[in-house]
Structure 1
Amino acid sequence: MASNAGTFSKMSNNSRQKFIETMIAGISENSQDDSMADVDIIVEGERFPCHRLILATMSPYFKAMFHSGMVETRERSITIPGISKSAFVQVRSSMYGSEYSITTENAMELLHAAALFQIISLQEACEEFLAKEMDMENCLMLFKIARSCNCKVLLEKCRPYVMEGFNGLWKSEEFETLDLEDLESIVRDDDLVPVDEEQICEATIKWVQADFSQRKKHLSRLFRHIRLVNVSPEYLLEELYNKDLLVNDETCKRYLDEVRDYHILPARRQEFASSRFHLRNSDDFEEVILVLTEYDMERSGSFYQDGKCLWAYSHHQGRWYTLAPIPLPQNPGTGFRVVSFRNDLYLTGGNSSLKNLLKYDSDRNEWVQCDASMKRGRYNHMTAAIRESVYVLGGYNAKMAEGNNVQGSIEEYNVNSRCWRTMGELIVPVQCAATVAVGEKIFVLGGKQEDGSNFDGIQIFDTRQRETKVEPGLLKGFSQPLQIVAVDGKVIIITAAGEVYDFRYSKMKLTLVKRLHQDCLPILGVAHYRGYIMLISASKDKPLIFSKVYKLELRCTPTRLDVVSPKNNTKPKPIHACLRCVVNKQFMYHTYFQ
């Protein structure tokens, strides 16, 4: 007869199920048998015989207690405070696999107990029960409980009620009982749907005033997350600036001044990047990266037989969208420059229309030909916006006399009067330089000279004094052309070789902060989003065609570079201009090239 010694038979699914059912039934039966109990849990003076093995198996709380080496490890009786007898009866039943009852009266207490003892099955059952009972009357209370007990299921059910019903909830008495962390999680949430941001200001102030002595120190922490960019200038000046609790708080006062500057500096709006300027998902507008490209004859068909295509990359949706194209009769050719003013764009010059001036009206999603023309035509020039004006500097004009093709002239277009006037001259005529506006000065970095060599200095044009000065040699050894972006008072420069510099313009100092990998090059354009530097890159074999979007984080140590993958396979090409802007969502519906 053959021997079966040493063989192993795997338990079938049927056998395993039978085993589990038998074990649960046995455990449940033993819950009624005190003879084998080895620990007594005392709740409100009543003794509940239990088994350490069962408690430790079902509850990490008890497992830690019994293995801690403390007195509870050896004691026969252990007193548990903070829970009622009736609640512990249900908790004990759940650990022993017996039937337990969740009702409207005990659900809250059972949830707290399940969270305390870390009994996942009971906690989830309580969360599901409370989620079914949720309404606008109790959602704020449940939101507080869900956060305090780390109830992910219940919190996910609460969020839509709180986020969408905030306008009514903040006026309730329950709102004033929120913890700091609870309120902060609400006001910082991009999914919050207020009637207007003024309501969030009022709600926050109300919460602070409900216990002013204890809460006033938290005011700036909360106001940090309020999207003050959406607060009207009238409310800012008439209400917020007239509240002593805000203007007497140094940080809050800085926040108010910051948004005041936003409103009075329309030419610089795209540089603001702090959390006060982040848009919520319910807003009508969205922060995007705009690029201007040629139209794609093969893929666009007859619909897009136009001069240039305007693309918008949605950070929130992770997609490229097409906005209004530049009509073919207004095609500027190449070498044009684009600058933002408020949320509009101004396009100047171009080798097909040297004195050209086009405006992209973001309110109507259309390009408009401006009547005024530059005094001197140009392309490959530099442009910047300061106060109520757009400036063009230098550039190239093939129609000029031999040896004078690269220009130094500076012109100003006043957005209000719609007139051009000559403002001055660059000391060193250049084209294809990097330009950034700081205060009332325009910094022109590098550029190509008449003989084709790169200029290694920085020229500073003072728009008020109409004077230019030069700081020579600061860019010696820099690989040009340069990319430049201004964000929240900082200026970041990226060389053609991928070196990233922090430009301290007040001290005229350049500090190397990162070297990009060669796979990231060439960089076609830069923008910013919520403090990140966004890089639009191409590949070496197709240097003008969009390849990848990179997100560069310079605020941490070490710095970090991540690839952002668009959800559609659109490849805008070739890219002539790139900048950050804010557009109306109603125009971001068309993805024709897909």
Structure 2
Amino acid sequence: MDPTAIKEELRLFQSTLLQDGLKELLNENRFVDCTLKVGDRCFPCHRLIMAACSPYFREIFFGEDGKEQSADANTKEVVLDDVDPNILDMIIRYLYSAEIDLTDDNVQAIFAVANRFQIPSVFTVCVNYLQQKLSLANCLAIFRLGLVLNCPRLAVAARNYIADRFDSLSEEEEFLQLAAHELFAIIGTDSLNVEREESVFEALMRWVRVDKEKRSKVLVEAFDCLRFRLMPEKYFHDKVEGDELIMANAELMKKVQEIKDAFQGKLPETKKKEPKGEGENEGEEGEEEEEEGMLPGYLNDNRRLGMYMRDLIVMVNDSATVAYDVNENECFLTAMSDQVPKNHVSICNAKNHMYIIGGLFVDEEDKTNPLQCYFYKLDTLTSDWMALPPMPSPRCLFNLGEYENLLFAIAGKDLQTNESIDSVICYDTDKMKWSETKKLPLRIHGHSVVSHKGLIYCIGGKTDDNKALNKMFVYNHKQSEWRELAGMKRPRAMFGAVVHKNKIIVSGGVNEEGLTAEAETYDFATNQWEAFTEFPQERSSVNLVSSGGSLYAVGGFALMELENKEIGPSEVTDIWQYEEDKKQWSGMLREMRYAAGSSCSAMRLNAARMPKL
């Protein structure tokens, strides 16, 4: 056995034995030599244990020379004021047993008492608990607590959590109640997850206007936390320079002029280092060097963490979620996705949130609907897929649409009966609930769905008699109504569809005649379909993606010669780009291995947060 492992095992054994012994001594009230008194409650304990766990009690029980004080009345009974006796009892029992029941209701009180009496073990347990429990509801309170109790680890963890979610938290009432130094610690950090510096300025001014008289006085200091050179010059002129509170402050207007000069390429001279006289203290040199060459904060043009967003093609399969940057030809690992089912449908909604639904989930506790579909949301901050309430209508070969905070799973094949269905089930992302909504006029599967300007379009597909359709229906959720529109020129199922430059593009697919390479485009204004440039190869299940103003086609299935020399469907994992000026498709990558078995969507992601593959 490894000697290190033996030592660790012996250490744990001795630690457990000691802890059990101490707990027994406390419970049996043996060898007790002091009492902590809070109000009318007394807590017998041992001076040695309290002194070993707390510098505060060590000073009480031992003199300045480190020698033990005589057990007089002053050390036998220690009176503690302004302490909740129940909290003190929990802390004492933890010191003897290493057991404490932390909850959201008591952790802050325990944290404060542990801080006051300098009990690092309890303090650390509380910090760990609060870090793990950080949420949108409590992060601001925990940030302030970390500052008040002078706990940098907790304050920084909470600040980073807030910085990651700045756009949503800056709208909250609690954010507007922050003290000036608390606000500046947040908006001054490089890690702020904002795409636009304008949103930081707007959050600051909302905060100032809560109490204009007092808070306008700290605007000069607040300016150093903002990076005005990252704003569009026109926005700076209209919104910053033209703000009444800023215009009323002469010192701020001087800074505004410096920023305007910086936009024109005129930066102020930075502080130059003066030569030191012989014999001067060299220890001060480091401090001066830190300041030398630094521009004022309001002229800082370093990008925030959130400003590294890119338009990417996100490929999701059952092993990993990978984002591909076409322009830079770079791949990034967005998340591992071992839990993602092979057969799934993905969607990235207008809020830039990605969801996937698919597979078969068996809920043994639900006797009414035991068979359901897995449902996940991509958390881009933790690089993980979060499980959401499973879809209660198990199906495959369906597709997804969206409207505001709603997702719609439309038609498909029932996984229990293997028959096409017309049901449409809706998920509310705010209420986190599934519900039935207006049925599709036809029972179909293998269709495509796109969403545009508050409407959902269901295109093509197959019926149970294997007949491909050219029909298109549009759903208006406000009116709870499906309406038939002009049909495609060619019936098709299992094809790619996307909204690109305010038109629907469809390509490829399969019908009674086999695979097709034909493509069509739909004009929303005229309700007409027209021919579009054919794809270079007949294939089905091609992923059409509109990203960064360009149109791409990823993967799919084509007829190819198999290993047994027969012709059959085989997956391809190439990437093509449509060249608008030449009206043609051009191959970009012959093989993108991450596209195998993947669903593809366009999404904006932060390249600085993801490891490059």
- TM bracket (short chain): 0.3 to 0.5
TM-score (norm 1): 0.41
TM-score (norm 2): 0.40
